[in-house]
């Protein structure tokens, strides 16, 4: 077994981990999370989000900017967040 070390996490993080790690040690649970993350990352890299979809969404954002952002001297001066 690897040598045991200590890491510092906030009390709230520790409490969340404790609540989630049911019947696992912290070490086992963190490894489980990392395995899951790496698996999702690997899947994600094989299936990147379509650039077309990203652009379609940002075209919608452009429309929002046109309606709800005011500019002064080429810089953003006012935003209407209620226009969301």
Partner 1 sequence: MADEKFIVLGELNRALKKKPVLVGGGAAELYSAGHFVTGDIDIFADRDELLPLLAKMGFSKEGMYFIRGKVFIHLLGSHIEKRFDDILLKGTGLKVRVISVEDLIVDRLNACKWWRSKVDCEQATHLLNTYRDRLDTGYLEDRAEEEDVRDTLDELRASIAPHKNIGARRTKRKGK
How far apart CA 41 and CA 37 sit, in angstroms, is 6
Nearest-approach distance from CB 4 to partner 1, in angstroms: 23
Binding interface with partner 1 (CB under 8 A)? 10-13, 44-45, 48-49, 51, 54-55, 57-59, 61-62, 64-65, 68, 71, 74-84
Question: Which residues, in sequence order, are CB contacts of 26 under 8 Å at separation 6+?
Answer: 17
How many CA atoms lie less than 13 Å away from 26 in the CB half-sphere?
12
Residue with Cβ nearer partner 1 (24 or 62): 62
Residue that the structure tokens 């070490």 belong to? 27
Residue with Cβ nearer partner 1 (31 or 58): 58
Nearest-approach distance from CB 3 to partner 1, in angstroms: 27
Residue with Cβ nearer partner 1 (28 or 41): 41
């Amino acid at each position: 077994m690897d040598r045991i070390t200590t890491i510092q996490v906030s009390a709230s993080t520790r409490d969340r981990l404790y609540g989630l790690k049911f019947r696992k040690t912290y070490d086992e649970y963190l490894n489980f999370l990392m395995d899951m993350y790496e698996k999702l990352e690997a899947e994600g890299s094989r299936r990147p989000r379509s650039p077309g979809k990203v652009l379609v969404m940002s075209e919608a954002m452009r429309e929002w900017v046109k309606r709800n952002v005011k500019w002064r001297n080429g810089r953003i001066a006012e935003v209407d967040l209620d226009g969301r």
